[in-house]
Amino acid sequence: MGRVSDHIDAATRAWIERQHLFFVATAPAAGGHVNLSPKGLDSFRVLDPTSVAYLDLTGSGAETIAHLRENGRITVMFSAFEGPPRIVRLFGQGSVHEPGSDGFDRLVTSFPAFRAVRSVISIEVSRVQDSCGYAVPEMQYVGDRSRLIEWADNRTEADIEAYWAEKNARSIDGLPALGD
């Protein structure tokens, strides 16, 4: 029913790479709001058995960035909505790599080019937990939504940076996020 490992094995990696959706959970160190964000598009990569990364695309908040800068704790969850039931959680320590940093420049080449990428989040995985997912509904993947890409394509770089300054500078709990 459930397995625990300290690394991502080849079969788990192949399964993760077939998923269209993943969830990211973080929280501030003391109190505050727990954040849980769905992520999609072609934005997740397994780099090696203990390292993963994903593109952090522009959003209405920057909780993950703020929480990682404060304490680094992160959990990524994948759930099978098609095929046999399965849930995989990756627990670890995350780092934020903003555009122009060495980490960003090194990692971003693993992904397709998207406008309005705020950062690349890398995670050193310390625990991989597999569970059944028997109660997760079975659903059919229809396709990726294009609204974020369209939003970014209709704005200048200055517009996007202004949006980040207004909406992504601090978390909802007041922790510094982008630009601090």
Residue 175, pLDDT score: 96
Angle at the Cα of 115 from the Cα atoms of 114 and 119, rounded to 5 degrees: 80
Domains delineated in the chain: 3-167 (2.30.110.10)
Instruction: Indicate whether 76 pLDDT > 90.
Output: yes
CA 66 to chain centre: 13
Structure tokens at 178: 């982008």
pLDDT tens figures, 106-121: 999 999 999 989 999 9
Q: What is the mean pLDDT of the chain?
A: 96
pLDDT exceeds 80 at position 32 = yes
Rounded to an integer, what distance in angstroms lies between the CA atom of residue 162 and that of residue 80? 37
What's the pLDDT score for residue 180? Answer: 64
Residue 109 gets which letter from DSSP? G
pTM of the model: 0.95
pLDDT at 1: 58
Residue appearing with tokens 């630009």: 179
CA triplet 43, 45, 47: central angle to 5 degrees?
A: 155
Decide if 10 contacts 128 (C-beta within 8 A).
no
> If you average pLDDT over residues 58-62, what whole number do you get?
93
Backbone angles phi, psi at 124, to 5 degrees: -90, 110
The whole-angstrom separation of Cα 78 and Cα 59 is 20
- pLDDT per position as a tens digit, 130-175: 999 999 999 999 999 999 999 999 999 999 999 999 999 999 999 9
Q: Are 119 and 96 in contact (CB under 8 A)?
A: yes
58: Cα within 13 Å, side-chain hemisphere: 22
Say how far apart CA 134 and CA 138 lie, in whole Å: 10
Closest to 159 in 3D by CA, of 149, 148, 151, 171: 151
Query: For 45-65, what is the mean pLDDT?
Result: 96
